Amino acid sequence: MNYLIVGIGGFLGANARYILGGWLASKWSTAFPFETLIINVSGSFVLCLFMTLALERFEIPIEYRQFFAIGFLGAYTTFSTLTFETIELLQQGRVLYALLNILGSGVLGLLAGYLGVISGRAI
Protein backbone atom coordinates (compact mmCIF):
# COMPACT_ATOMS: atom_id res chain seq x y z
CA MET A 1 0.00 0.00 0.00
CA ASN A 2 2.88 2.43 0.71
CA TYR A 3 4.05 2.05 -2.89
CA LEU A 4 0.66 3.15 -4.13
CA ILE A 5 0.57 6.14 -1.77
CA VAL A 6 4.04 7.29 -2.80
CA GLY A 7 3.32 6.53 -6.47
CA ILE A 8 0.17 8.64 -6.56
CA GLY A 9 2.01 11.49 -4.85
CA GLY A 10 4.85 11.12 -7.35
CA PHE A 11 2.43 11.20 -10.28
CA LEU A 12 0.89 14.43 -9.00
CA GLY A 13 4.25 16.00 -8.12
CA ALA A 14 5.78 15.17 -11.50
CA ASN A 15 2.82 16.71 -13.27
CA ALA A 16 2.93 19.79 -11.05
CA ARG A 17 6.60 20.20 -11.93
CA TYR A 18 5.93 19.68 -15.64
CA ILE A 19 3.07 22.20 -15.71
CA LEU A 20 4.80 24.85 -13.57
CA GLY A 21 8.16 24.37 -15.28
CA GLY A 22 6.60 24.72 -18.72
CA TRP A 23 4.69 27.82 -17.71
CA LEU A 24 7.76 29.45 -16.17
CA ALA A 25 9.92 28.56 -19.19
CA SER A 26 7.38 30.25 -21.47
CA LYS A 27 7.65 33.46 -19.42
CA TRP A 28 11.44 33.83 -19.30
CA SER A 29 14.45 33.36 -21.51
CA THR A 30 15.93 29.88 -21.71
CA ALA A 31 19.45 31.28 -21.29
CA PHE A 32 19.21 30.47 -17.58
CA PRO A 33 17.08 27.65 -16.11
CA PHE A 34 14.90 29.85 -13.89
CA GLU A 35 12.17 27.22 -13.78
CA THR A 36 14.48 24.67 -12.15
CA LEU A 37 15.74 27.23 -9.65
CA ILE A 38 12.21 28.27 -8.68
CA ILE A 39 11.02 24.67 -8.39
CA ASN A 40 14.02 23.69 -6.26
CA VAL A 41 13.67 26.67 -3.92
CA SER A 42 9.89 26.36 -3.55
CA GLY A 43 10.21 22.59 -3.03
CA SER A 44 12.80 23.16 -0.30
CA PHE A 45 10.53 25.62 1.47
CA VAL A 46 7.41 23.47 1.21
CA LEU A 47 9.17 20.25 2.29
CA CYS A 48 10.69 21.86 5.38
CA LEU A 49 7.44 23.65 6.24
CA PHE A 50 5.41 20.48 5.83
CA MET A 51 7.77 18.23 7.78
CA THR A 52 8.05 20.75 10.61
CA LEU A 53 4.27 20.94 10.83
CA ALA A 54 3.90 17.18 10.40
CA LEU A 55 6.41 16.24 13.11
CA GLU A 56 6.27 19.13 15.57
CA ARG A 57 2.76 20.56 15.39
CA PHE A 58 0.13 18.22 14.04
CA GLU A 59 1.56 14.68 14.20
CA ILE A 60 0.47 13.97 10.64
CA PRO A 61 0.25 10.20 10.02
CA ILE A 62 3.15 8.59 8.18
CA GLU A 63 1.01 7.70 5.14
CA TYR A 64 0.29 11.39 4.49
CA ARG A 65 3.94 12.28 5.02
CA GLN A 66 4.98 9.58 2.56
CA PHE A 67 2.41 10.74 0.01
CA PHE A 68 3.42 14.40 0.18
CA ALA A 69 7.10 14.47 1.21
CA ILE A 70 8.40 11.40 -0.62
CA GLY A 71 5.89 11.12 -3.45
CA PHE A 72 4.72 14.59 -4.40
CA LEU A 73 7.74 16.68 -3.40
CA GLY A 74 10.21 13.96 -4.38
CA ALA A 75 8.88 14.11 -7.93
CA TYR A 76 8.36 17.87 -7.87
CA THR A 77 11.91 18.91 -6.94
CA THR A 78 14.53 18.68 -9.60
CA PHE A 79 18.04 18.43 -8.28
CA SER A 80 19.03 15.86 -10.89
CA THR A 81 17.88 18.36 -13.51
CA LEU A 82 19.93 21.02 -11.73
CA THR A 83 23.03 18.88 -12.19
CA PHE A 84 22.35 18.20 -15.87
CA GLU A 85 21.56 21.83 -16.69
CA THR A 86 24.66 23.04 -14.86
CA ILE A 87 26.84 20.65 -16.86
CA GLU A 88 25.20 21.90 -20.04
CA LEU A 89 25.95 25.49 -19.06
CA LEU A 90 29.59 24.57 -18.40
CA GLN A 91 29.86 22.77 -21.74
CA GLN A 92 28.51 25.89 -23.44
CA GLY A 93 31.22 27.95 -21.74
CA ARG A 94 28.70 29.83 -19.61
CA VAL A 95 30.63 29.40 -16.38
CA LEU A 96 29.05 32.37 -14.60
CA TYR A 97 25.54 31.00 -15.26
CA ALA A 98 26.65 27.55 -14.09
CA LEU A 99 27.97 28.98 -10.81
CA LEU A 100 24.86 31.10 -10.40
CA ASN A 101 22.71 28.01 -10.94
CA ILE A 102 24.54 25.92 -8.34
CA LEU A 103 24.90 28.69 -5.77
CA GLY A 104 21.38 29.98 -6.37
CA SER A 105 19.75 26.60 -5.89
CA GLY A 106 22.01 25.64 -2.99
CA VAL A 107 21.92 28.87 -1.03
CA LEU A 108 18.34 29.84 -1.85
CA GLY A 109 17.20 26.24 -1.28
CA LEU A 110 18.78 26.20 2.17
CA LEU A 111 17.35 29.61 2.97
CA ALA A 112 13.89 28.52 1.78
CA GLY A 113 14.14 25.34 3.84
CA TYR A 114 15.11 27.30 6.92
CA LEU A 115 12.22 29.70 6.36
CA GLY A 116 9.94 26.66 6.02
CA VAL A 117 11.05 25.37 9.42
CA ILE A 118 10.59 28.81 11.00
CA SER A 119 7.16 29.16 9.39
CA GLY A 120 6.13 25.71 10.54
CA ARG A 121 7.12 26.48 14.10
CA ALA A 122 5.34 29.83 14.04
CA ILE A 123 2.00 28.34 13.02
Q: Whole-angstrom Cα distance, residue 109 to residue 18?
A: 19
Q: What is the tens place of the pLDDT at every residue in 74-94?
A: 999 978 788 889 999 999 999
Binding-site residues for Na(+) sit at 74, 77
Q: Please give the DSSP secondary-structure letter assigned to residue 70.
A: I
Domain residue spans in the chain?
2-122
Q: Identify the pLDDT of residue 1.
A: 75
Per-residue CA distances from 93 to 8, 20, 50, 87, 97 (Å): 40, 28, 38, 10, 9
Binding-site residues sit at 74, 77
Q: What is the tens place of the pLDDT at every residue in 27-70?
A: 988 789 999 999 999 999 999 999 999 999 998 999 999 999 99
- pTM across the whole model: 0.82
